[in-house]
Structure 1
Amino acid sequence: MFDAPVSRQLQIQTREYLLQNPEVFVEALQKFEQNQQAAEANELETILAEHSDEIFNDPTAPVGGNSEGDVTLVEFFDYNCPYCRKAAPQIQQAVSDDPGLKLVFKEWPILGPGSEFAARAALASQRQGKYEAFHHGMMAFAGAINERSTMTIAEQVGLDLEQLKRDLEDLAFVAAIERNRALANDLRITGTPTFVVGDEIIGGLVDQAPLQRSIADAREKPEG
């Protein structure tokens, strides 16, 4: 073990060396960051593999596009999220342009009671076969999504409101949302919209071209 004077002298020499050769510190920092990124990528790959069925094949999750598609795009969203609304036309375009794309909707209401009610109503609308119409109606709505606006949109897209009210009492829809919350937490998702495609998790509003590249990359790899 070094005594105090020797240890102090070593600290001084090390400091002087680093000041004279700053590239050594930069290289060490870059190497550290590379190792961190590699570790995070490996961890993410493991997490996605562990939750693959929940992400891509949940039988209770609404599905759009080609239900038998060779690539699945998953979106976690909130109807009151402005970036989700901006992303909606891009997602619709991606589905329209790609006949092999399956779209999985993950209702993840994080912006208050209005979002929570809307998510439950959307899931309940599946029983009337109008989920996508209802979903697109709410994404296109300019104001706040709350109980009143949700029911207004439901009526506009042709839902039977009395049946919807009855179906809303089913706790299965609450359970589905809770599963989505738990999954988002396991995937370390922190905001909406967030997309999962292949072995990528993409947070935030994404442009059409990068999204298409991610879909193309996923097409080259088998899903878990």
Structure 2
Amino acid sequence: MKSPLAAALCLALTGPALATEIGDMTNAERAAFRDEVRSYLLDNPDVLMEAISVLESREQQAQAQSDAELIAENSEALFEDGQSWVGGDPEGDVTVVEFLDYRCGYCRRAFPEVSELIESDGNIRFIVKEFPILGEQSILASRFAIATQRIAGDDAYEAVHDDLMTLRGEVNQASLQGIAADHGLDWDAISAEMNVAAVDARIEESLALGQSMGISGTPSFVFGDQMVRGYVPLDVMRKTVADERG
């Protein structure tokens, strides 16, 4: 596989026919050609930068097309699984899906900005996918959130989700029991529900979905038919939503 630099050189200085001719050159001819290329690039570095820009644009377009195909292939699991918590406007014209881990620093950084996006826009359907990949505390937090939803409903899930995103300190029985108490939830029922097979299945399905879509880190987002891997600031989120509407 060519490096980006090598690919850009081919793009800038050769076409398919010339590339074939280079393969037929003698060693001396090839060395002379390389010297000419080097001299040309030293005299005209803007040509190389232009070629690299074109190459990067083509790669971005190919990635966007691949992402759109992945989203289409997994649309039911992403948007209509019947289990994931749905916030914002359930009838919103753009759906945003976030894969998150409660112990992820960048997820926590994105949390207030995602909240602001949903609240200020008013026409976004927002779906959360539990994606605990950072260890036992991450898994414990997701179990607690899912069990809360199953026992106490969507409003309770939203409340503990927000608390988990801003929790200071360790995720353990004491901290989770404290969150439950703050919201008047039945800790005994929730703690028992955390270990049922259905909660295991929910987490496994989310992890499998992320893997099938090439997601390896958090946060990762789906904006309609676009994917955004990693943290982006609020203005980029708003632009992506606007692009979807456009």
> Which interval holds the TM-score relative to the shorter structure?
0.7 to 0.9
1:84 has 2:107 as partner: yes
> CA offset at residue 192 of structure 1?
1.9
1:216 has 2:239 as partner: no
1:31 has 2:57 as partner: no
> CA offset at residue 135 of structure 1?
0.8
Contact 2:64 2:226 in 1 (8 A): no
Which residue of the partner structure matches residue 175 of structure 1?
A: 201
1:74 has 2:97 as partner: yes
Which residue of the partner structure matches residue 216 of structure 2?
A: 190
1:59 has 2:85 as partner: no
How high is the sequence identity, in percent, across the aligned residues? 38
Matches within 5 A, 1:1-224: 1-127=24-150, 128-129=152-153, 130-220=156-246
> CA offset at residue 169 of structure 1?
2.4
CA distance in 2 between partners of 1:94 and 1:28 (Å): 37
Contact 2:219 2:230 in 1 (8 A): yes
Report how many residues are paired.
Answer: 220
> CA offset at residue 88 of structure 1?
2.2
> CA offset at residue 51 of structure 1?
1.5
CA distance in 2 between partners of 1:31 and 1:91 (Å): 32
Structure 2 residue identity aligned to 1:142 = R
Q: CA RMSD in A?
A: 2.2
CA distance in 1 between partners of 2:213 and 2:70 (Å): 7
Structure 1 stretches lacking a partner, 5+ long:
none
Cα distance, 1:219–1:156 mapped onto 2, change above 3 Å: same
Structure 1 residue identity aligned to 2:51 = A
Relative to the length of structure 2, the TM-score reads 0.79
Contact 1:75 1:104 in 2 (8 A): yes
Contact 1:113 1:146 in 2 (8 A): no
Contact 1:79 1:145 in 2 (8 A): no
